[in-house]
Each structure stands twice: as structure tokens, then as C-alpha cells.
């Protein structure tokens, strides 16, 4: 197989994806010529072109340059894609995005952050703390970090931070030195079949950890793991660190409070206590994410005061409880939440920050299979809102499933103030609405409405 060091021209199929673009940026920083295809031009692909990459938007092998040495593709690309099959049929070195990260993890010291929720926020927080503490890591993040306006950080140290994606079992390509697991809730059952098989996937990932590595996870997760995993961890001399909020574990968070729209907490560990930490990320789930990041930063030797200052300076990630607009009457928040657990976390954070205000949520379900598998959970989470505008399902990679529409969630919701809306009717509905706190929620293309909603609210003022 061709090694990356021997390859000058690299081609990305689906280059505009958030994970793909981070790797493309890394390869460009290594002096490679980067080319790619994506289905549509976006703000992100325009930035990639500005940075020096060459991208086209038509699936046409005639647009592929000569001399390509390595082809990287995302699993979201359909099997019938002309360019992908051309590369496969003609003997090119063709690998998935996850395999590329796997190659990097074999030659770099790797911090891999996993979990069905919390990967992006924890990876970004960890990366920022380490950068702030002068640990010059490289990082591949599944979201745009507000401090850097990028999903990739370039560094010169031996350490890299990566998101370990459970989808399509991608994380099994990694060989991490440090593994952090935020959550193992049922998800991606279209891939795994059932919850037990998903847990087996996480166990296989955990067993990829390097000798003398470190595993950090919530206390309750240890009970889920099989005896075989515990034996492997012992054989590899892995340091297992448990954490939680108000727990008797090696790492614990205490004294969580909300003051003037900010979350404060104390961090307690065997390495010492850091008091009065301030997080700019809303919600107790983000306190847990921050605790994980602080633990990793401590392992790499960062001082408590440096960590405290770094956390306070972290501005967050685009589409992760991102406050888009705020005036004396209305607050508008955009969030990527697309699983019932994520919805409960985001809505719960809003209720904690704005306890006396009406909270209106616009939710776009993501995937027919996820809607079918978690319809009860979606209904229960959305019932936490005061008002719900429910959009059609965003299909992403899937074909429709008979009988599965947004209405199956709608019919199970007990909240009275609810409406089914389309993309065509959404803005008119909002224009007639007396809003106090508005949330857009979902992982599909609901984000195309963010600027329109901001413009509407600005005009109303």
C-alpha cells in the first residue's frame, strides 16, 4: 500500500464533510496537493478553495486530475458514485476517512474521544485547553471551533486529538494512547442492529488502546463492559479513570451553579482540586464534557490555573448550543441535537438558563431509521418545550421507510402547543409568533434557516 509520505496528490470524495475537510486541511498543511468532489458548494468548500484546494461539484471522472496517489472517501458517498467506482476499478489506493485517521494514529500519540453524544464538544474543549497550555497538538474536530473558525488545528507536537466515530464502526481503525468515552446510548441501530451489538463495537474499540494507555469513562459505563475487556485492559496495563458529577470517583465535579448565564463548577481529582471553573458552554452535559477535557489536560501536565484560564476563554463550537441572536426580548439558540438524549440535554440547558421564559423549539428529525427507532424518546424530549414546530424528516443517506414520517413523533407528543411545518411554511409561522427563547434543533439542513431567522428577529426588533 502506498504510504502518505510517498503521495503528493490526494483526492477527497465528499471533501465538504466536516470530518473530511479537517483531514484535507491536514494534508494541505503537509505540503500535499489536495483535490476533491462534493455534491454542493457550501461556505466550507469555498473556504477550502480559498485555502488552496481544487474542488468540483459534478460526479465526472473527466474532472479528476492525473497523478492521484491516494483517494479518501466518506461512507456517506453512495455505492453508485461514478468517481468512487472509477478509482476502485482502476487500482487506486482508496480508503475511508476513518482509515486515514487510523494511519495517523499509528504514527502519532493519539487522544481519541468517543461516545454517542459529546464527542465534538469534548474534542474541541480538549484541543483548546492543550493549545492554550502550549501543548502544540494537531486536532481533527467534527465541528467549527469558534476560537479558530476551523475544524482543524495544526501543531508540531507528537500528539493529535481525534473524534472516534462509532458510526460504521469507524473508530476500529484507530490505535489510541488515551481513550475518553462520553456516552454509550443506543444509536446507529441501522448499522449495529441492536444495543448489545453497539456495545460490542465500543468494547472492540476500547481493546484497540495501546500498551500503558489511559481509559477515561463515566462510572456507570464500567458495569456495562464485559469481563474480557477488563482482562485486556489489565494485560495492557491501562490506567482506568472514572468520573461523574457528585460521585465518589477518581474525578468528580461538584458545586455546579448558574450565575448570569454562565455555568460554574469545581473539579476534584487525585491530582488536585480546581475551584471556581467557568464554562461558556451551557448545560450539565457540557460540564461533564469539560471535566473529561480537564482530565486529559491534567494527564498531559497542564497546571490548574492554566486549565481554568483556558476553559474560560473557550468560546464553543458552531451549532452546539450556539447563541445566534439576543436582545432584551428574544434569545435564539441553534443546536445540532438529533438524538433524544441530546435534545433533553439542550432543552434542559435552555430551561436552566431561562427558567421563566417560553421556549419554542423547531426540530428537524434526522434519518428515517433513527425516527422509527426512537420515536418515544423524541416525543418525550420535545414535550419538555413550551412550543414545538416539527419539520419533515431529513433523509441524509437513507431511502424513505413506509409509515415513518414526522407525524409519528407528533402523534405521541402530549404537549398541546405543537405544529407540523414544512420548509416553505416555517418562516411565515415564525413571523406570526411571539417568541421569547427560540431553538433550532437537528443535524440535517435546518441550518440553512439560521441566517434567515436571525434576519427576521433583527427586523422585528
431 and 352 in a single domain? The answer is yes
pLDDT for 271 equals 86
Q: Is 101 contained in some domain?
A: no
Contacts of residue 328, defined as CB under 8 A and 6 or more positions apart, other chains included, come to none
pLDDT for 6 equals 63
pLDDT for 1 equals 39
230 and 263 in a single domain? The answer is yes
131 and 264 in a single domain? The answer is yes
Task: Give the residue among 85, 20, 81 at the shortest CA–CA distance from 53.
Answer: 20
Q: Is 103 contained in some domain?
A: no
Q: Following DSSP, what letter does each residue of 425-446 receive, concatenated?
A: THHHHHHTS--SEEEEE-SSSG
Give the pTM: 0.82
pLDDT per residue of the chain (461 residues) written in tens, 0 to 9: 345 556 799 999 999 988 899 999 999 999 999 999 998 898 899 999 999 999 999 999 999 999 999 999 988 888 889 999 999 999 999 999 888 888 888 889 999 999 888 889 999 999 999 999 989 999 999 888 999 998 999 999 999 999 988 877 888 999 999 999 988 776 656 666 687 888 898 999 999 999 999 999 988 888 888 899 999 999 999 999 999 889 889 999 999 998 877 899 999 998 889 999 999 888 888 899 999 999 999 999 999 999 999 999 999 898 888 999 999 999 999 999 999 989 998 999 999 889 999 999 999 999 999 999 999 999 999 999 999 999 999 998 788 999 999 999 999 999 999 999 999 999 999 988 899 999 999 988 999 999 999 999 998 76
Q: Is 273 contained in some domain?
A: yes
CA atoms within 13 A on the CB side of 35: 17
138 and 208 in a single domain? The answer is yes
What angle do the packed helices 284-299 and 340-353 form, to 10 degrees? 100
pLDDT for 218 equals 87
What does the pLDDT look like over 231-290, one tens digit per residue? Answer: 999 999 999 999 988 988 999 999 999 887 789 999 999 888 999 999 988 888 889 999
251 and 344 in a single domain? The answer is no
87 and 122 in a single domain? The answer is no
Q: Is 346 contained in some domain?
A: yes
Round to whole Å and give the CA distance between 176 and 241.
Answer: 16
CB atoms within 10 A of CB 108: 19
pLDDT for 189 equals 61
Task: Give the residue among 360, 324, 361, 322 at the shortest CA–CA distance from 456.
Answer: 324
- Residue 213's CATH number: 3.40.1190.10
405 and 373 in a single domain? The answer is yes
CB atoms within 10 A of CB 185: 16
Distance of CA 364 to the CA centre of its chain: 17
What does the pLDDT look like over 66-107, one tens digit per residue? Answer: 999 999 998 888 888 999 999 999 999 999 988 888 888 888
CB atoms within 10 A of CB 158: 13
Q: Is 386 contained in some domain?
A: yes
382 and 251 in a single domain? The answer is no
170 and 292 in a single domain? The answer is yes
Q: Is 102 contained in some domain?
A: no
pLDDT for 311 equals 97
Give whole-number Cα distances, 253 to 268, 289, 294, 344, 426, in Å.
6, 11, 11, 20, 41
pLDDT for 213 equals 97
Domain boundary among 45, 73, 96: 96
340 and 430 in a single domain? The answer is yes
pLDDT for 105 equals 85
Q: Is 144 contained in some domain?
A: yes
Domain residue limits at 13: 4-96
Q: Is 449 contained in some domain?
A: yes
Number of domains within the chain = 3
31 and 142 in a single domain? The answer is no
Round to whole Å and give the CA distance between 243 and 284.
Answer: 14
- What does the longest C-alpha to C-alpha distance in the chain come to? 63
43 and 187 in a single domain? The answer is no
- Residue 407's CATH number: 3.90.190.20
Amino acid at each position: 500500500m502506498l504510504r502518505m509520505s510517498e503521495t503528493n496528490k490526494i483526492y477527497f470524495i465528499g471533501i465538504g464533510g466536516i470530518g473530511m475537510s479537517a483531514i484535507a486541511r491536514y494534508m494541505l498543511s503537509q505540503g500535499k496537493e489536495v483535490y476533491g468532489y462534493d455534491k454542493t458548494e457550501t461556505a466550507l468548500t469555498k473556504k477550502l478553495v480559498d485555502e488552496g484546494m481544487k474542488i468540483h461539484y459534478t460526479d465526472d471522472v473527466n474532472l479528476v486530475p492525473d497523478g492521484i496517489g491516494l483517494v479518501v472517501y466518506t461512507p456517506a458517498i453512495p455505492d453508485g458514485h461514478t468517481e468512487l467506482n472509477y478509482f476502485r476499478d482502476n487500482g487506486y489506493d482508496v480508503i475511508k476517512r476513518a482509515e486515514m485517521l487510523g494511519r495517523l494514529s499509528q504514527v502519532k500519540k493519539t487522544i481519541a474521544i468517543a461516545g454517542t453524544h459529546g464527542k465534538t464538544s469534548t474534542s474541541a474543549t480538549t484541543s483548546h485547553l492543550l493549545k492554550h497550555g502550549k501543548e502544540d497538538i494537531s486536532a481533527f474536530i467534527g465541528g467549527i471551533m469558534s476560537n479558530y473558525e476551523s475544524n482543524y488545528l495544526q501543531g508540531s507536537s507528537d500528539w493529535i486529538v481525534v473524534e472516534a466515530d462509532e458510526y460504521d464502526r469507524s473508530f476500529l481503525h484507530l490505535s489510541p494512547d488515551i481513550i475518553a468515552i462520553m456516552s454509550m446510548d443506543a444509536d446507529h441501530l441501522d448499522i449495529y442492529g441492536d444495543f448489545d451489538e453497539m456495545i460490542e463495537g465500543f468494547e472492540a474499540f476500547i481493546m484497540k488502546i495501546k500498551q500503558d494507555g489511559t481509559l477515561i469513562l463515566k462510572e456507570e459505563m464500567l458495569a456495562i463492559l464485559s469481563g474480557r475487556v477488563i482482562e485486556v485492559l489489565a494485560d495492557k496495563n491501562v490506567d482506568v479513570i472514572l468520573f461523574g458529577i457528585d460521585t465518589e470517583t477518581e474525578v468528580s465535579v461538584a458545586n455546579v451553579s448558574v450565575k448570569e448565564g454562565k455555568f460554574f463548577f469545581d473539579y476534584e481529582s487525585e491530582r488536585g482540586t480546581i475551584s471556581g471553573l467557568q464554562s461558556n458552554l451551557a448545560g450539565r452535559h457540557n460540564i461533564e464534557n469539560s471535566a473529561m477535557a480537564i482530565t486529559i489536560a491534567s494527564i498531559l501536565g497542564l497546571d490548574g490555573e492554566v486549565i481554568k484560564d483556558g476553559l474560560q476563554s473557550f468560546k464553543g463550537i458552531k451549532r452546539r448550543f450556539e447563541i445566534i441572536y439576543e436582545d432584551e426580548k428574544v434569545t435564539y439558540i441553534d443546536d445540532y441535537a438529533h438524538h433524544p438524549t441530546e435534545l433533553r440535554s439542550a432543552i434542559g440547558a435552555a430551561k436552566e438558563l431561562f427558567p421563566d421564559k417560553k421556549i419554542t423549539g423547531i426540530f428537524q428529525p434526522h434519518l428515517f431509521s433513527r425516527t422509527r427507532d426512537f420515536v418515544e424518546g423524541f416525543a418525550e424530549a420535545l414535550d419538555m418545550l413550551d412550543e414545538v414546530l416539527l419539520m419533515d424528516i431529513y433523509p441524509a443517506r437513507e431511502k424513505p421507510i413506509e409509515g415513518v414520517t414526522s407525524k409519528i413523533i407528533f402523534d405521541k407528543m402530549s404537549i398541546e402547543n405543537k405544529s407540523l411545518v414544512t420548509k416553505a411554511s416555517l418562516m411565515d409561522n415564525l413571523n406570526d409568533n411571539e417568541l421569547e427563547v427560540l431553538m433550532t434543533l437537528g443535524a440535517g439542513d435546518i441550518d440553512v434557516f439560521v441566517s434567515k431567522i436571525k434576519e427576521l428577529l433583527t427586523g422585528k426588533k
